[in-house]
Structure 1
Amino acid sequence: MTEIFRLEELFPENALPKEQNINFHKALSMGESFAKKNVKPNNCLICNSSKNPFCNSHSVPARCLRAIAINGDVKIFNGLVKIPAVDDDKGVNEAGTFRLICRDCDEKIFKEYETFEKYPDKNPPDKVLHQIALKNYLKFYYKKAVEAKAFPKMLENLQLPNSALLEPVLKPGDRDKKDSFKAIYDTKKLLNSNTNGYYRIVEYRKLDYTCPFAFQGSISLITGFDGEIINDVFNTDKKYDLQDMHVCVFPEKDYTYIIVFYKKHFQRYSQFAKHYSNLSQEERLQLLLYIILKYSEDYFYSASIQTIENDPVVHDAITTTTMMICDYEEEEGAKIKKCIQEYNLNNYKKLPNVLSKCYVKS
């Protein structure tokens, strides 16, 4: 039987006594520390230099995090997931950072996209979008590399009631690492090109308020609104490529940029883009929030909206993982059908729309 795996099955609330909570926290810390020491490359992944010091790059521009921080902290995914003994906030300097490139590259390569003051009224140039895409692929590669190192170390030390479920769920995705590394290489080559219209821009909008929520990342939608398959996550054919879409929520003082785009030749998104264009502006924001919560954990939000942490609709959206516990003998078609049902985008309307202006504290 195909089953959607949920995080609370691994970490049921109050399931661990105090001593086990402490041991669990230690195991997580040891695994993460070990991984970060062992995934840093010898050379910068952009310029290939080994001479310049490496930088703590932010997956979301630090200026966006500062715009929503309270007392220097932002809330992270565990504020919603509530895994025992794991922090639910981080300081701006630590939130969403990775170490793969040198300081010189971090300051130069991403300059245009992080300078919101120079954003045009109409669609941004390809150069800005190339920079956003490259940052997303770097972060994704780093995440998968850390998982590959951290999870085996964690499993050595963890003693959980549902540990039998943990190992197959946390098994690192080698294909994800390889695909993201190739995406980094391909996008680097585009940085100095003169492309025009390389991407289909689904949304580019400047809101006149500061959203209490920040996100930047690439997301591979499984399905859209009509049960179509956008990405078959069970397809093991080496010639089958997952197609991703880039989503950005960039809050700043007094305004927020919303940017959504994908490579123009990614035709599997055409039906989604058409449906998206027919939604109202408020519906688009609500849908994007649903997509982010459903597919990612790399978002940040302000403590000013922490009331959403007890919202059952929000909890239902964020506790699904795309990793499936399946009977290996089951037909592949049954697996993807269950996934399509779980990730149907029509469910977005139930979600509290924290990207809308009504959630801004006056």
Structure 2
Amino acid sequence: MIYFLVNNNYHLLDVYEHCKNLRKFEKSLIQIPHTLECISKDENFNNIFIFKTPFSKMKNYFNIINVKKIERKVKSKLTINANDILFVYTEYEILNQYIITLFKKNGAKVYVIEDGGFPTYLTYSIEDTEPLSLKEKIKLFYFNYFLGYRFVNFLKYNNLIFPQINENYLDGVLLYLDINIVRNIKKFLLSKNKKQLDLDKSKALFLNEKIYEYYCSKSEYSDILKICIEKMIDKFEIVYFKFHPKETEENKLWQLKILNQYSNVEIIQDNSPVENLLVIYKTKYVFSFLSAALLNLNAQGAVPVYIYHWFDNILENNVFQNIDNILHNIGYKFINKNCEITDVGFSSKNYDDLKLDTFLKEIK
């Protein structure tokens, strides 16, 4: 049995794409929703499971009784044997890690499929050098010793914690772009099973990011946003703007005051993955500061346009320095500050032809 473990709508969309080549395989779906519209029936899957994470809210975080209750539910629902294979999209969710260990204890194989980009690329390509705070050490101690989750590790980067599982529990990581990784995990290059779209070069999409919460002030971002939009409307007949799904209404309001000044800027309310938005809005160019969604748009014929390098105060941050190194290493070509859109994006050489069905046959 092939199992897919998903946490958000992007994961599920990617699973559906792989299912097109896996019709001869028996498949099951495990859902632990973060930003996921869960499904209960689907012809692609023999079995569908839904488990709620006990780690989403701080008031439940240290509720050991609740955690153990969910563990028992997971164990009772999943029947795992040594011939099974689990594909998981992120280690960030601790319940994902627990399920990974169940598969490994039963002799099954486990692979991580990159979850859309930078969270995988960054955390797989940087060394763990930042020391944990006392609070972070207590939280890790709770996982390791109170819950018995000795497999949980914390990677600290730019003062943020990224939970990772002990590498012995993973048989490999499947990437869509070829990057150097420092973790002791076997790497495979996978191809995107996407159809090239007929896209409109007069249209562009801007995927907003909450960089005003981490990398600059709201006042600075107001000026940055004006510069970006004005450069874009000078090049395109229409610019679609999409807020990040986690932006608050309060933060949307002060940005809307800027955006509403431009008649050819249209706000997209749909929170569907960008792959679906391309089908609807037909935008040839997709702009953003650090959206991981841009990394795999070549497969649909869109041009990903990163613009953080337009602003020195953004580029000097360590996070963007590491992103910049990754993009340069995989051959990404940046747009210039005049917003000239020729020779921008990834070359096709960064993509491999390996489909998931072929991969499964090779590892048997």
**Bin for the TM-score computed over the shorter chain:** under 0.3
Higher percent of residues as helix = 1
Higher percent of residues as strand = 2
Normalising by structure 1, what TM-score?
Answer: 0.25
Normalising by structure 2, what TM-score?
Answer: 0.25
